């Protein structure tokens, strides 16, 4: 079987293909080549053709799109992704802080006690092996922080050190196996302005949702391609937001991944602390307005580019955050 390969194209040839095959315009050959050198042909064409294609059966972009505009959009996406990731890291630190406090309060700060397998919901041999692998971090000698190494030498690693050493994914396994009282206390540490309680099942779904986005953003996925394996239902969000802020009826009839990016903002409204929420809001609104100055974000191409957001995204973000 022959393997299909793409021929090498120099910079000028790439510009020609952009014009002739994809209908992407060029402000000048020099600026177009500069943009391609910075972001790559594949990123700009493959990354944005779904958002800007003329119709479902065509490779051609809608009229008026330049390679330089795609480069600016990529720059703005990188900035927006950075803000999203920073917000997720803030929530992760908050959750870990609450968890290590509850853990120490219940089991103490000695690792021989708080790491006892029989403290946890490990009913099968597989679950016990999984926890044992997580707790094995206390014996690791490579790829650990200086703080962990110092506590290893002292003979005891307190829970706040070990929790911070774990990835968010590893931490979630530890959290999921913890006693109900600890998990409930951590979930109760998050409460929106209306004092509506975040239930434990919803909290744990939100953690998995956050993890999916955190991993995708860390690997540089474009915003239009972000989605979560975990489903956040409309009924869960209705407990916190008025109908006008939820995805439209039309969106509800589509698969949940099409509104995941917008749902992330709804979760940020619940989980971010007020001081961080205000900073995040200011940065995101500024970026959305710049997006809007390039191409209207209420129109279909930009809504697709930004993860199939609903209309009036700027106004919605102002109310959510």
- Using a CB cutoff of 8 Å and minimum separation of 24, what contacts does 282-288 make? 283/83, 284/80, 284/83, 284/317, 284/321, 285/314, 285/317, 285/318, 287/76, 287/79, 287/80, 287/83, 288/313, 288/314, 288/317
Instruction: Specify whether 61 is located in the same domain as 89.
Output: no
Instruction: Specify whether 231 is located in the same domain as 263.
Output: yes
152 domain residue, yes or no: no
127 domain residue, yes or no: no
Name, in order, each residue with C-beta under 8 angstroms of 187's C-beta and a sequence gap of 6 or more.
198, 199, 200, 203, 204
Question: Of 65, 86, 101, which residue is a domain's last?
Answer: 65
Instruction: Specify whether 203 is located in the same domain as 274.
Output: yes
Task: Provide the domain limits for residue 26.
Answer: 11-65
Residue 2 is predicted with a pLDDT of: 56
The pTM assigned to this predicted structure is 0.91
∠ CA 96-267-167 to the nearest 5 degrees?
30
∠ CA 286-292-295 to the nearest 5 degrees?
150
Instruction: Specify whether 102 is located in the same domain as 229.
Output: yes
Residue 134 is predicted with a pLDDT of: 85
Q: How far, rounded to the nearest angstrom, does the alpha carbon of residue 161 sit from its chain's CA centroid? A: 25
Instruction: Specify whether 92 is located in the same domain as 239.
Output: yes
Q: Region 51-71: what's the mean pLDDT?
A: 92
Residue 234 is predicted with a pLDDT of: 83
267 pLDDT exceeds 70? yes
Question: How far is it, in rounded angstroms, from Cα 40 to Cα 43?
Answer: 5
111-132 tens-digit pLDDT = 999 999 999 998 888 778 888 8
Residue 266: C-alpha distances to residues 11, 279, 313, 320 (Å) = 42, 16, 12, 6
Q: How confident is the model at residue 56 (pLDDT cuts 50, 70, 90)?
A: confident
Instruction: Specify whether 285 is located in the same domain as 266.
Output: yes
5-9, 43-47, 162-166, 260-264: the lowest-pLDDT one:
5-9
Residue 133 is predicted with a pLDDT of: 86
141 domain residue, yes or no: no
Question: Of 32, 47, 65, which residue is a domain's last?
Answer: 65
Instruction: Specify whether 190 is located in the same domain as 277.
Output: yes
Question: How far is it, in rounded angstroms, from Cα 32 to Cα 13?
Answer: 12
5 pLDDT exceeds 80? no
Residue 248 is predicted with a pLDDT of: 63
Instruction: Specify whether 238 is located in the same domain as 215.
Output: yes
Q: How many domains does the chain have?
A: 2
Instruction: Specify whether 50 is located in the same domain as 88.
Output: no
208-259 tens-digit pLDDT = 999 999 999 999 889 988 888 888 988 889 989 999 999 765 444 444 445 8
38 domain residue, yes or no: yes
Q: How confident is the model at residue 6 (pLDDT cuts 50, 70, 90)?
A: confident
* 284 touches 315 (CB < 8 A): no
Instruction: Specify whether 278 is located in the same domain as 295.
Output: yes
Number of neighbours of residue 182 by Cβ within 10 angstroms: 20
What are the phi and psi torsion angles at 40 (to 5°)? 80, 145
Give the CA-trace dihedral at 192, 197, 198, 201, to 10 degrees.
Answer: -170
Instruction: Specify whether 280 is located in the same domain as 195.
Output: yes
160 domain residue, yes or no: no
Instruction: Specify whether 231 is located in the same domain as 287.
Output: yes
Q: How far, rounded to the nearest angstrom, does the alpha carbon of residue 140 sit from its chain's CA centroid? A: 29
């Amino acid at each position: 079987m022959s393997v299909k390969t793409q021929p090498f194209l120099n910079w000028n040839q790439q510009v020609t293909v952009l014009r002739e095959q994809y209908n992407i315009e060029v402000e000048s050959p020099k600026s177009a080549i500069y943009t391609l050198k910075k972001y790559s042909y594949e990123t700009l064409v493959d990354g944005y053709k779904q958002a800007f294609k003329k119709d479902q059966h065509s490779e051609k972009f809608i009229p008026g799109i330049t390679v330089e505009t795609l480069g600016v959009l990529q720059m703005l996406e990188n900035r927006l992704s950075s803000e999203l990731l920073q917000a997720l890291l803030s929530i992760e630190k908050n959750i870990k802080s609450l968890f290590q406090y509850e853990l120490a309060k219940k089991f103490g700060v000695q690792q021989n006690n708080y790491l006892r397998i029989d403290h946890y919901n490990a009913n099968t041999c597989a679950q016990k092996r999984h926890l044992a692998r997580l707790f094995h971090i206390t014996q690791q000698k490579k790829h650990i922080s200086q703080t962990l190494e110092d506590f290893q030498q002292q003979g005891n690693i307190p829970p706040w050190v070990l929790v911070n050493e774990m990835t968010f994914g590893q931490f979630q396994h530890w959290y999921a196996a913890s006693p109900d009282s600890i998990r409930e206390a951590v979930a109760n540490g998050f409460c929106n302005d209306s004092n509506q309680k975040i239930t434990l099942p919803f909290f744990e779904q939100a953690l998995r949702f956050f993890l999916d986005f955190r991993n995708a953003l860390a690997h540089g996925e474009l915003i239009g391609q972000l989605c979560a394996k975990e489903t956040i239902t409309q009924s869960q969000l209705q407990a916190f937001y008025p109908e006008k802020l939820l995805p439209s009826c039309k969106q509800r009839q589509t698969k949940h991944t099409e509104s995941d990016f917008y749902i992330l903002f709804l979760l940020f409204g619940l989980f971010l602390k007020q001081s961080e929420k205000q900073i995040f809001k200011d940065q995101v609104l500024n970026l959305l307005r710049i997006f809007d100055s390039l191409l209207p974000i209420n129109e279909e191409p930009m809504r697709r580019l930004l993860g199939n957001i609903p209309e009036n995204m700027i106004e919605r973000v102002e109310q959510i955050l």
